[in-house]
Structure 1
Amino acid sequence: MSEPGLREPPHDVVIVGGGHNGLTAAAYLALAGKSVLVLEREDHVGGAAVSAQAFPGVDARLSRYSYLVSLLPQRIIDELGLEIELARRRYSSYTPDPADTRTGLLVDHGDDEATGTSFDRVGAAADFPAWNAFYSDTGRAARALFPTVCEPLPTRSEARALLGDDRLWEQFIERPLGTALRDRFQNDLVRGVVATDGLIGTFASVDSPDLAANRCFLYHVIGNGTGDWDVPVGGMGAVTGELEKAARQAGARIETDAEVTAITPDGEVRYRHGTVDRVVQGRHVLANVAPWVLWQLLDGNAPASVRPGGDRGNDAKPEGAQVKVNLLLTRLPRLRDATVSPEAAFGGTFHINETLTQLEQAHAQADRGGFPELLPCEIYCHSLSDPSILSPELVAAGAQTLTVFALHAPHRWLTEENNDERRDRLQAAVLASLNSVLAEPIEDLIMTDAGGRPCIETKTTLDLEHALNLPGGNIFHGPLEWPFLEDDEPRSTSAERWGVATEHPRILLCGAGARRGGGVSGIGGHNAAMAVLEA
């Protein structure tokens, strides 16, 4: 680089971005005796895996962006000595029937008979055994494939052999997800509940031949060999806090307020720390940023292997397709379905307007530029499983948090000029979707902050791009990839074998944009660290 800057002593590894994957990589590498520097542009580490007091004067620490944990391997927790508690939810899901919202489907892990009765109440009795068989199959896939995520990538043929069931391989890997849903279930509501695991963070039809929904679905059902999505006790910030502690105790140096402005292929990193421009050389540079962002830091001269897009070499910017709404309520709302308590309905994932027909119609409408009146939504109540995120006073008063994740709200709807107006419109659509199944308006239950403002916070994809440097608000940093290599893909370097390679040998991906990235998992960070240690 020709520009002047305060030159620092070189490090074995410079990590760009202090999100949870960067901290995971830092901990492993520092424990192995490497000199590690982590550079984070914000005044705190954690990226999307943070807790925050979102509402002024209200003592509630919300998992502001990411909110549940499934993909963080127990292996990483054990190897780094992380003191993390994850609360298992008794209820899997509740889904009101949009044809008659006085009834709904409640899936209760603790009462199989009650679950069967619930299937019968929504006219889906024939799908109950099919449901159990289907999730027995996803459990087999999870037990076969999840142990590979912290190992060098298997090939497609090796992964297929590990699963050991050609029928399942065809259903989950080779054919569009919608085919399996229609073959195995009769009821539209049941099909939709299953389909949502293929659509969270992914703008796709379940019938798309590119199989984007299949890849998303696979990652959502294999976590830790069970597919369970657990609540992090203390909020998502508790997970990041343990990773930061592990990295610092191992000897990693972490600098916040340190914005990286450029990277060269030979491992030189330029960053601004406060008002000072600095330059540091890394034997390896780990990019805990989206591949699109890495490409920009490399002055747009990156080769195809670090460019964004569904196909390597496709320069399309990634696109997210969701809106997230955080609420603090005085209490849980009453349901139109009098047979289910609010505590049970909100104790798992609460699906709203997510039959398969509704999901496909919402996608098609959004793809044409239309704006659905009732967004498909998923709701999570952290405070039911973990009241520790609320002050004792709020707990005693019966307050509860709700996190709403609405699907099929693509980034293409937004511009810098219309983001405020569209945010308001999206928030209104989310609240309308909620009210379509509640026995009382959700607005009547929203608490107010110290300034008298409603305790509601809405994040569009553009807000995520601004706050977290996620291009297009894509929560996976780009299109998800299979957790295996194609049989003819190169495996000659450690970075290729671990799924973290770029075309620059010194620069590796270590975030959600690595193969097997996405979600709060630490997998990208672990695998980048292993690639460095093997190099």
Structure 2
Amino acid sequence: MRDPDNGKDFDVVVVGGGHNGLVAAAYLARAGLRVRVLERLEQTGGAAVSARAFDGVEVQVSRYSYLVSLLPSRIVADLGAPVRLARRKFSSYTPQPATAGRSGLLVGPDIRPTFTAVGAAGDEHGFAAFYRRCRLVTEPLWPTLIEPLRTREQTRRLVAECGGPEAAAAWHAMVEEPIGHAITDAVATDLVRGVISTDALIGTFARMDDPSLMQNICFLYHVLGGGSGGWDVPIGGMGTVTAALSAAATYLGAEISTGADVFAIEPTGHVHYRAAGAEHRIRGRFVLAGVTPAVLNDLLGARGAPPACEHASSLAPGAQVKVNMVVRRLPRLHDNSATPEQAFAGTFHANETWTQLDAAYSRAAAQHVPDPLPCEAYCHSLTDPSILSAELRDSGAQTLTVFGLHTPHSVFGDTDPAALRDQLTTSVLASLNSVLAEPIQDVLLTDARGRPCIETTTTIDLQRSLLMTAGNIFHGALTWPFTDDDDVLDTPARRWGVATAHDRIMLCGSGARRGGAVSGIGGHNAAMAVLASLGQSGKRSCGAD
């Protein structure tokens, strides 16, 4: 029987139906190009999906990615995607480990932070001033993420012109020396230094004074969203974001094939994949790769060669563990000055003081799980109860999402997956329990089989289920959102930060420059590079929110 797909030509073939691939497909279909998306799994979304993870429990948890900060509103508007986001009522709560959580620091937009409660009254001004200085860099930088790349010097001048000498000093502190120096200059107490530092270490295995500055890049992306660094909850769960993008891409004319496992890509634009028990081959004038640079290398038949992308190493390991839970009610606190609803509405920091973060790094570098494990948690359902059934909402049940730091794949990647999952789950629960008034296990909901509603995802799980190389949630080492001054920007792909070693093939996922997190920026920029290569203008999709 003749295969109707074999030999079929498209303007663009997108490999990977994650949120970035869907954004790229939607933009290109909107421009009138013929686009095919090939997704290995049976549903689109990649890491930005929701799932009913627990038998008989009607709750849609965001299985992998869980918050949104870097998604420009311009992308959502351009594509007509009905993405709904909500701002959390509190920024963070940090129980004081030295008092086993009997005091804590509560930070929120509409309250005066409780610095006095944790013996840090002298840090209140420095804390606020630090983030104000950060905004001198992030506010002018944010719109550039969906524009052609600037060089480092052009970006530095942009920041200085917008904010003057203070902005130039802030640029130096954030971009040219370890961010740990600026943090210790701004605030004095161990706990407050740790609160600021966590944004530099999510998914990144580094010390705060690492000369590579990888922690600085991570920090910048965590405070960059919208220019102010706000993190929003996706209404309905993360799966609604990609469902909206998928619907937009389809409406605009993109063809989406799920269960299509790509096993080879040729520099000529030919893409080979398996679907429904048969092998197929199609061709694109351009191929956009939403997979990691290392996976792209494998598909090109270049396993072990230098990465196909031109701007970064693809070998940086992931360094995090994620735990989803459903609880009958939120756990009680020792601290009577804050309610559980306040503490868990924003980011709940457990054992993340400056000293604890540094000690955790040292222990992990010595191939041991940190003890205590630095963790941060938040309750999605406090901001968005729609992910729970009416019955669960009425019962007082809530969700908890916990992210553990300094668990690098390079140290634990050879461990038996089930054993590692159990070990890290135990460490996460112990860390939370050390600052709570009751064990978290006592409030866990049970599923239809009587099992606790707890799901742990390690870097091994990410590599196996989503093909995220070494479990890195950013697809590799994060890079600055600008180029080096001597970089050659002689093609649209290079100017948009999506170039590979092959002219027809571009990155469109988190591995692209300015990729990472749920942003759609990698997809947008790949689409703009294709349109520029074809002589079409993508200007109307660029600019500030």
TM-score under structure 2 normalisation? 0.94
Spell out the pairing of 1:74-89 with structure 2 (5 A cutoff).
Answer: 74-89=73-88
Partner of 2:274: 272
Return closer, same or farther for 1:386/1:270 CA change in 2, 3 Å cut-off. Answer: same
Partner of 2:345: helix, strand, or coil? coil
| Contact 1:435-1:442 within 8 A present in 2 as well | yes
Q: Which moved more, 1:405-414 or 1:147-156?
A: 405-414
1:334-386 deviation line (CA, Å, top 9, x unaligned):
00111110000001000000001100110111012122222100101000000
Whichever residue aligns with residue 198 of structure 1, its letter is A
Q: For 1:298-447, what aligned pairs fall within 5 Å after superposition?
A: 298-300=300-302, 304=306, 306=308, 312=312, 317-415=315-413, 418-447=416-445
CA distance in 1, matches of 2:303, 2:326: 46
d(CA) in 2 for partners of 1:291, 1:264: 15
Equivalent pair of 2:60/2:387 in contact (CA under 8 Å): yes
Q: Offset at 1:57? A: 0.8
The equivalent of 1:293 in structure 2 is 295
- SS for the counterpart of 2:8 is coil
Q: How many residues align?
A: 524
Which residue pairs with 2:96 in the alignment?
Answer: 97
Partner of 1:476: 474
Structure 1 45/347 Cα, relative in aligned 2: closer, same or farther at 3 Å?
same
Deviation, 1:424, is 0.4
C-alpha separation between the residues in 2 aligned to 1:110 and 1:178? Answer: 28
Cα drift, residue 302 of structure 1: 8.6
Give the letter for the 2:302 counterpart.
G
Indicate conservation of the 8 Å contact 1:6/1:277, yes or no.
no
Quick one: distance in 2 between partners of 1:378 and 1:361? 17
What does residue 106 of structure 2 align with?
106
Distance 1:460 1:347 in 2: 24
Which whole-Å CA distance do the structure 1 matches of 2:352 and 2:380 have between them? Answer: 21
Do the aligned partners of 1:5 and 1:278 also contact (CA within 8 Å) in 2? no
CA contact (8 A) 2:15 2:37 kept: yes
User: Is residue 526 from structure 1 mapped to residue 528 from structure 2 by the alignment?
Assistant: no
What one-letter code is carried by the residue in structure 2 that aligns with 1:255? S
> 2-side partners of 1:502 and 1:348: how far apart?
39
2:27 is the alignment partner of 1:28: yes
Cα RMSD (Å): 1.5
Aligned partners of 1:492, 1:407: CA distance in 2, in Å?
A: 39
Q: Is residue 216 of structure 2 the alignment partner of residue 220 of structure 1? A: no
Q: Which residue of 2 aligns with 1:187?
A: 189
- 1: CA distance between counterparts of 2:398 and 2:316? 34
Shift of residue 177 of structure 1?
A: 1.0
Structure 1 247/167 Cα, relative in aligned 2: closer, same or farther at 3 Å?
A: same
Q: Distance in 1 between matches of 2:321 and 2:122?
A: 34
Deviations 1:109-167 (A, max 9, x none): 1123xx1xx10111111110111111111222221100000000111011101111321
Report the Cα distance in structure 2 between the residues aligned to 1:292 and 1:305, rounded to whole angstroms.
Answer: 6
Which SS does the other structure have where 2:22 is aligned?
A: helix
Identity %: 56
Assess if the C-alpha contact under 8 Å between 1:87 and 1:385 holds in 2: yes
Aligned residue number for residue 156 of structure 1: 152
After superposition, give the CA deviation of every residue in 1:236-278 in whole Å (9 maximum; x if it has no partner).
Answer: 0110011001100000000000000000111110000110100
What amino acid is aligned across from residue 207 of structure 2 in structure 1?
S
Q: Distance in 2 between matches of 1:415 and 1:182?
A: 33
Q: Segments of 4+ in structure 1 off by > 3 A? A: 301-305, 413-417
Deviation at 1:307, TM superposition (A): 5.8
Give the corresponding residue for 1:170: 172
Distance, in Å, in 1 between the alignment partners of 2:73 and 2:279 is 40
Distance apart, 1:303 and its partner CA: 6.6
Secondary structure of the equivalent of 1:158?
helix
What secondary structure sits across from 1:265 in the alignment? coil
Question: Residues 201, 417 of structure 1: CA spacing in aligned structure 2 closer, same or farther, 3 A cutoff?
Answer: closer
Give ranges in structure 2 of 5+ residues lacking alignment. 161-166, 534-545
C-alpha separation between the residues in 1 aligned to 2:379 and 2:207?
27
Structure 1 equivalent of residue 446 of structure 2:
448
Q: Quote the offset at 1:318 in angstroms.
A: 3.1
One-letter code aligned to 1:183: D
State the AA in 2 paired with 1:188: D
SS at match of 2:148: coil
| 1:42-78 deviation per Cα after TM superposition (whole angstroms, max 9, x unaligned) | 0000000001000011100001100000000011011
The residue identity in structure 1 corresponding to 2:180 is G
The corresponding residue for 1:124 is 120
